[in-house]
Chains A and B, each alone.
Chain A
Amino acid sequence: MAKVNPSFLEKVTTSDEFNATACMNCGVCSAVCPLEIELLPRKLFRYALLGLEDRVMENTPTIYQCLLCKMCEASCTADVHIADNVRFLRAYISKEVFKL
C-alpha cells in the first residue's frame, strides 16, 4: 500500500522549482521520450505530487536514467518544466538519501 510522507509532500508542493501541478496527464511527454520508460515523466511526477516518497525512491535508477534532453518539455502542453523537476528529485535524493 502506498504511504504519503508529509515532509516529502511539503518539500515538493512548496518548492519554487517543482512545477508539475500544471500537468494534465495528457501523456505526450511519455510518448515522445527517447527512453520509452512508462514511468517517465508524468507517472513519476504524480507520485511526487501525492507525497508518495517510497514510490519515488524505489524508482531511483529510472530518475537518473532521464537524459534531461527536454524532448518532453518541448512537447508539453502545460509548460511543465520537466527537466528541472527531474533535477529537483535528483537533488532531493542526492541530499537526503545519498548524503552527497
Chain B
Amino acid sequence: MKVPLAWRILTYDKRRTALALIGIFMAILLVFVELGFFYAVPRGGLLLYDNMKFDLLLASSEYEYQAQPGAFPLGRLDSVRSSPDVQQATPIYFGFAKWKSGEGGMWPDVFLIGFDPASHVFIPDSINRQTGVLERADMVLVDSATRPMFGPLDAGRVVEIGDRKVTIGGQYVLGTGFMGLGVVLASTANFARLFPQRGLNIVNLAAIQLKPGADPDPAAENLRKAVGPDLQVFTRKALEAHETAYWTTRTSVGIIFGSGLLISFVVGIMIVYQIVSTQVGRQLPQFATLKAIGYPDRSLAGTVSAMSLLIVVAGFVPALGAALGLYSVIRQETLLPVAMSEMRLLAVFAAAVAMALISALLSVGGLRRAAPADVF
C-alpha cells in the first residue's frame, strides 16, 4: 500500500507536486553541473594528451604537469629507441612566445608545440591532413579555439611570433585546454627557427609508441631502468592519474566545485524536505486515521519515504536530460570539456536517492505527532 498511497498523495495536489519536481530538478541539475566542472578541469588539462598517440610518455623528473613539463637532452632518446619494446619515440617541444599581431596592438602569449609532422603523433584528422602545410618553411597551424584577441586566424595571414614572421597555413581542431589563450603547431624545423637560441637539443616530452603486442606496464618498468632516475616514464593511466591529482589537489578547483557540490546536495535535501513535510502536515488527520485503524508507524514512514523517492526519481530524469543539454552549451561557451560518464550518472543518482531518504527521515518526525486522539 506504501507506493500507491504515496502516489495518490502526490497526485492529489498536482500543483504542489509540480513545484516539488521543479525544485528537485534544479537541485539535481546543479549537482550535475558542479560535478561536470569538477571533472572537466582535469580533462581540460589532459586535452593535448587525449589527442596524441602514445603508449608511454617520457618526461624529465622535474615534470609537474603539462604546462610545467621540465626538459631533457634529445640524446637521451637514443637509449629509449634501442629498447626492444619501442617502435617509435617522438620528441615534443613546448615554448611560449609573444604573438605580436594581436587585436588592438596587444601581444598575447602564444603556446607553441614543435613536432615532426611525419611522426603523425597527433590524432586529429585536421592536423594529419595538413602535414604538407606544416613542412613548409615559416608556416604554422593555429588551433581553432585560439581567442579572438589574436586577430583573424585566416590561412595566408602573416603574423609575427617572437622576432619572426610566419604565415598561418591553416587551422586545426584540438582545443587550447589550459595551454594558453592561443596554441600554434609547428614542425621541428620551424620551431627551431622561432627559438634560435634554444635549438632542438632540449626536449620537453617524448611520445613513445610500443611495438604491437607489447604490454605498457612491463615496458614502462624496463624503460625506467634503462633511462635512469632523472627521467620518468608514464603509462597513459599513470599520466591521467597524475594530471587529475594536480588539478584537483594543487589548485582551487577541487574545493570550489567540491563545496558547490556539497551545498547543492543540501539544497536538494531542503527542497524535498520542504515539500514532503508540508504534505505530511496537511495530511496529518489522514495519517492519524491510518494509525488509529492499526497501521504501524513503520508503515507510515514507508509511505513518506516512497513519496520522497518518487519525487526525486521523477525529478532526476528531466534533470539528466537538461544536464546533457547544458553540458553542450558549457562546452561551447567556456571551452571546458564537460562530459557525462556512466560513473557520474550513477553517483548523482545515488546522491539523489540519499537526498530523498534524508529528507524523508527529517519529515517522519512530524508523523509521530499524528496521534489519533489529538487530531479529532
Partners in one complex: no
